[in-house]
Amino acid sequence: MTELSTLSRSIAGRTALITGCASGMGRATAKLFAAEGAHVAATDIHGEGVRETVAEIEAAGREAAAWTLDVGDAGAIRRVVDEAAARYGGLDILVNNAGISRGGPIDADEYEERWQETVNVLLTAHQRMIRAALPYLRQSDSPRIVNIASTEGLGATAMNSAYSAAKTGVIGLTRGLAVELGREGITVNCICPGPIRTAMTARIPEEHKQIYARRRTALRRYGDPEEVAHGTLHLCLPASSFITGVALPVDGGLTVRRA
Amino acid sequence: MSLPAEATVFAPSTSDRDQLAVLHPSTDLPALRRDGPLVIEQGKGIRVRDEQGREYIEGMAGLWCTALGYGVEELADAAAEQIRKLSFSHLFAGRSHEPAVALAEKLREMAPIANAKAFFGTSGSDANDTQVKLVWYCNNALGRPEKKKIISRRRGYHGVSLAAGSMTGLPTFHKSFDLPLPQFRHVTCPHHYRDAEPGETEAEFTARLAAELDELICAEGPETVAAFIAEPVLGAGGVVVPPEGYHPAIQEVLDEHDVLLIDDEVICGFGRLGTPFGAEAMDMKPDTVSVAKALSSAYLPISAVLVPDGMVDVIVEAGERWGVFGHGFTYTGHPVCAAVALRALELMEERNLFAHAARVGRYFQAGLRRFAGHPLVGEARGVGLIGACELVADKETRAAFPVHRGAGAYCQDRCLDHGLILRALGDTLAFCPPLIVTESDIDEILERFGRGLDETLAWVEAGGGAS
C-alpha cells in the first residue's frame, strides 16, 4: 500500500480542539475524531452536555477531555486553549463549531442586541479561538483549522440576516486566513452545513423537515451530524494538505438545486 | 404592529406547506400552483404584514368584512372572556344562552325592518340558504306550496352554498357545479354603465328593469314566485350602485305580485355605505335581511337572518302541525361568536363608526372619482366606503379588454407591489377599506393605486398580456 499512496489519512495521535461539543455536529465531530484516534479537547457552554460527550468517548476507550467554555468570553477562550494545549502537549487541529441562532426581522426592536450576540459568538469567537490556538498550531507538522459556516453564508433565508451576515463573515475570515497563513503551511477551510438534525433545527416538526428537504435538497432528506463530521475530518487529514480557503457545502445538494 | 415571529432556517415556508395541504376557495388553482400564495401573518389597524414582513394596507377589509380593522383588543378580550365562561352551548331543542339573546336584542334594535327576530348562522352563504328555506317553509305553511321561485340579479353575489350559489349571478360560481338549481331565475344587473342601451337614461333604464322583472314574474306565474333577493350595492359582481329610483321601482313590482324582498346586507350592513344598513342608503323596504361579515368585524364567523315577528308566527304555528322546526346549525348562535359580535356592534356605536364612515366615505368617493379621467378607467364608482374603478380598453366605446389579457389582475399585482391590497373582479378594481380608515389613509390608498394604475397603463401600451 505504501507504494501506492504517500500521504496519511489518519489523525491518530493528533490533538483536536473542538467547540460546541455538547450536542449535534460538535458532539458527532468529537466522537468521530476520537474514534479516529485523536486526542479531543471538547468544549461547550453547556458543561453537562460536553461532559456527557467525553464520557461516551471514554466509554469507547478513546481519549477526550471536557471544558466548559462560553466562546463569547474572550478571556475564557485563551485560558481553555492554553489548558488544552498543556494537557496534550500542543494542538494540531482547531474546529470552530460552537454557534447560536437568533433570527428576526431587520426592524425588530431587539435586532441590535441579537446582532451583537450573533456576531460575537459566530464570528468574533472564531478569530479569537484562532488567535489563541495559533502559537500551538504553528508547532504542528499538519496544522488544520476548520470553521463551521453555513449554507446561510452562501445564500440566505429571510429574517435571519444577522446569522447570515456572521456566517458569510466566517467564510471571509476563512479565505483571508487561508491566504495569510498559507505560507506557514496552515490550512484554513470551512464547512457550510445545510439542513442537519441538530439542536438548532430540533423545533422544526419532522413533517416540516421532510417537506423542506423534498422541495429544496438534491438528496431529498435532512442530514445527520455525523455526515458533517466526516466532511470536517476530511479537511483535517494530513493528506488534505493542498486544500485551503474552501467553503465546502455539506448540504445534500441544497445550494446546487434550482428546482 | 409587532413584528413577525422568528424565522426558522431550514424549515419550509408556510407557502411551501400550503401547497401540500390546502385546497383553496375561490382561487385560480393552476395559477396558485405556479405562483404560490401570499401568506398574511399579522394585522393591526388597516394594515397587514406577510410572512416576509412586508406591510400592506388592506384596501379590501379582507373579504369586505374587517370593519373595525385588525388587532382590536376589546374583541380579543370579549372572546377570551366568553371562552372562559362558556365556550359552547347551543340553541337547539329549547336551550338558550345570554350572548345569543343579547345579540338578537341588539339586532332587533338596529335592524332596518320592524320587530325582527334573529336566526344565527356562521356565514353569509348559510344565511342566504336559510332565507330560501324560511320562505319555502312559510309558503308551505301558508298553503301555497307552488310559490317557491327566487329571483336575483345577474352579477349579484349571495354566497356559494347550493341555494345561495343558485342566487349568485356570476358564471364562475355556476359552471361545472350544476347550478343554479331549477327554482332560481336571474334578471338584468342594474349597472347603467354596462347594461343600459345606447342613449338610455338612468330613469329609462330603471323603468326597463322594473318592466323586465314584472314580465318575468308574470311569465313564471306570480303564484310561483316567492322572493326577490338583492344586495343594496352589488359587491363581488363589481361594486355596482343601482340608479336612483331603482329599488322603489322594483319594490312596486314585488308588492303587486306579493313577492318578498330579501335584503342581502352581508357586505353593505353595518356602515359600509355610510348608513347603518344599505337598505337605508338605497331606499329599500325589505321583508327580511341577511347580515354577516362586519357583524363581528370578521373576528369570528357569524351571520344572522332577520325575519319579522309575523313570519316567525307562521313558522311557530306550523309547528303545531309539523312538529320540530328542522333547520339549524351546530354553531347557530355560538356563544363566543355572539359575544364578540355584540362587542363589535357596541364598539361601532361607541366610536360613532357609521357617521365616520359617511364622512370619510364622501372624501373617498371624491378621490376615487378623480381617476375617471385616467386613460384606462371607464368608470369610477361607489358609495360610502365601497368603490371601484373599471378598466377598459377603449373609454369611448367602453370596450373591455380581452379576458385572457388579465389587465385587472395585472393592476392588482402592481398595487400589491406598492403595498396595497385591492381585489380585481375581472378588470374592475374593488376598494372596500376597513371603516376605521382616515382621510390620510385614503390619500395613501389612492396614491398607491394611482401608481399601480399608471404602471398598468404603461404595460397596456407596451402590449403586455396581448400575445
Report pLDDT digits (tens) over B388-445: 999 999 999 999 999 999 999 999 999 999 999 999 999 999 999 999 999 999 999 9
* CATH number, residue A71: 3.40.50.720
Helix (H) or strand (E) holding B34: helix B29-35
Rg (CA), chain B: 22
The percent of residues above 70 in pLDDT, for chain B, comes to: 98
Residue A122 distance to chain B (closest CA, Å): 15
Residue B20 distance to chain A (closest CA, Å): 8
B280 and B154, same domain (yes or no): yes
Is B4 an 8 Å CB contact of chain A? yes
- Residue B1 pLDDT level (bands cut at 50, 70, 90): very low
Residue B21 near residue B33 (C-beta atoms within 8 A): no
Is A215 an 8 Å CB contact of chain B? yes
Q: What angle (nearest 5°) sits at the alpha carbon of residue A75, between those of residues A72 and A76? A: 70
- Residue A69 pLDDT level (bands cut at 50, 70, 90): very high
The percent of residues above 90 in pLDDT, for chain A, comes to: 93
Report pLDDT digits (tens) over A109-150: 999 999 999 999 999 999 999 999 999 999 999 999 999 999
Report pLDDT digits (tens) over A6-54: 999 999 999 999 999 999 999 999 999 999 999 999 999 999 999 999 9
Flag whether A48 is in a domain: yes
Estimate the crossing angle of helix A24-35 against helix A225-236, to 10 degrees: 50
What per-residue confidence (pLDDT) applies to A2? Answer: 56
Flag whether B64 is in a domain: yes
Q: For residue A103, give the nearest of B6, B12, B16 by CB distance.
A: B6
Flag whether A209 is in a domain: yes
Which residue reads 458532539 in cell numbers? A27
Mean pLDDT score, A42-70:
98
Flag whether B61 is in a domain: yes
User: DSSP 3-state assignment of B1?
Assistant: coil
What per-residue confidence (pLDDT) applies to A259? Answer: 78
pLDDT at residue B16 tops 90: no
B238 and B144, same domain (yes or no): yes
Residue in B closest to A195 by C-alpha:
B10
In B257-371, alpha helices (H)? 278-282, 309-322, 335-350, 353-369
B16–A204 C-beta distance less than 8 A: no
Residue A147 near residue A96 (C-beta atoms within 8 A): yes
Which residue reads 339586532 in cell numbers? B107
Report pLDDT digits (tens) over B165-217: 999 999 999 999 999 999 999 999 999 999 999 999 999 999 999 999 999 99
Give the residue from B290, B321, B350 where a domain finishes.
B350
Flag whether A130 is in a domain: yes
Flag whether A88 is in a domain: yes
Residue B44 distance to chain A (closest CA, Å): 16
Flag whether A182 is in a domain: yes
**Among the options A88, A136, A163, A222, which is catalytic?**
A163
Flag whether B7 is in a domain: no
Which residue reads 314585488 in cell numbers? B254
B281 and B373, same domain (yes or no): no
Respond yes or no: is residue A212 known to be catalytic: no
Pick from B435, B345, B417: nearest CA to B70: B435
Is B9 an 8 Å CB contact of chain A? yes
Residue in B closest to A223 by C-alpha:
B10
Residue A95 near residue A232 (C-beta atoms within 8 A): yes
* CATH number, residue B138: 3.40.640.10
Flag whether A4 is in a domain: no
Residues of chain B with C-beta less than 8 angstroms from the C-beta of A25: none
Flag whether A96 is in a domain: yes
B262 and B407, same domain (yes or no): no
Pick from B344, B311, B315, B334: nearest CA to B107: B344
Residue A38 near residue A12 (C-beta atoms within 8 A): yes
Give the residue from B350, B367, B395 where a domain finishes.
B350
- Residue B20 pLDDT level (bands cut at 50, 70, 90): confident
B187 and B255, same domain (yes or no): yes
B304 and B234, same domain (yes or no): yes
B128 and B171, same domain (yes or no): yes
B310 and B332, same domain (yes or no): yes
Report pLDDT digits (tens) over A206-215: 999 999 999 9
Domain that holds residue A61: 15-249
Alpha carbon B444 to chain centroid distance?
24
Flag whether A237 is in a domain: yes
- Residue B2 pLDDT level (bands cut at 50, 70, 90): very low
Residue A191 near residue A159 (C-beta atoms within 8 A): no
pLDDT at residue B7 tops 60: no
How many alpha carbons fall within 13 Å on the CB side of residue A75? 0
What per-residue confidence (pLDDT) applies to B51? Answer: 86
B62 and B87, same domain (yes or no): no
Give the residue from B306, B322, B350 where a domain finishes.
B350
B399 and B303, same domain (yes or no): no
Is A220 an 8 Å CB contact of chain B? no
* B 181-220 residues inside an 8 A Cβ radius of A: none
- Reported for B369-376, long-range contacts at CB under 8 A and 24+ positions apart, including other chains, are B370/B446, B371/B446, B371/B449, B371/B450, B371/B453, B374/B453, B374/B457, B375/B457, B376/B407, B376/B453, B376/B456, B376/B457, B376/B460
CB contacts < 8 A, A to B, total 60
Mean pLDDT score, B142-156:
98
Report pLDDT digits (tens) over B272-317: 999 999 999 999 999 999 999 999 999 999 999 999 999 999 999 9
Q: Could you give the number of structural domains in chain A?
A: 1
Residues of chain A with C-beta less than 8 angstroms from the C-beta of B3: 104-105, 107-108
Domain that holds residue B365: 14-71+353-461
Partners of residue B121 on adjacent β-strands: B303
B50 and B86, same domain (yes or no): no
Q: Could you give the number of structural domains in chain B?
A: 2
What per-residue confidence (pLDDT) applies to B3? Answer: 38
Residue B107 distance to chain A (closest CA, Å): 43
- Grid cell in block for residue A200: 438548532
B67 and B81, same domain (yes or no): no
Report pLDDT digits (tens) over B326-378: 999 999 999 999 999 999 999 999 999 999 999 999 999 999 999 999 999 99
Q: What is the ipTM of this complex?
A: 0.80
Residues of chain B with C-beta less than 8 angstroms from the C-beta of A152: 9
Residue A255 distance to chain B (closest CA, Å): 12
Pick from B131, B98, B104: nearest CA to B335: B98
Return all residues near B396 (Cβ < 8 A) that are at least 6 apart: none
Flag whether B466 is in a domain: no
Report pLDDT digits (tens) over A145-192: 999 999 999 999 988 999 999 999 999 999 999 999 999 999 999 999
| CA distance linking residue B80 with residue B299, whole number of Å | 12
What per-residue confidence (pLDDT) applies to B194? Answer: 97
A204–B10 C-beta distance less than 8 A: yes
B9–A211 C-beta distance less than 8 A: no
DSSP B38-76: --EEEEEBTEEEETT--EEEETTHHHHT-TT-B--HHHH
Instruction: Pick B348 or B33 by higher pLDDT.
Output: B348
Question: What sign results for the dihedral spanned by CA atoms B129, B130, B133, B136?
Answer: negative
Residue of A115, A211, A214 for testing the chain B interface, max B β-carbons within 10 Å: A211
Is A256 an 8 Å CB contact of chain B? no
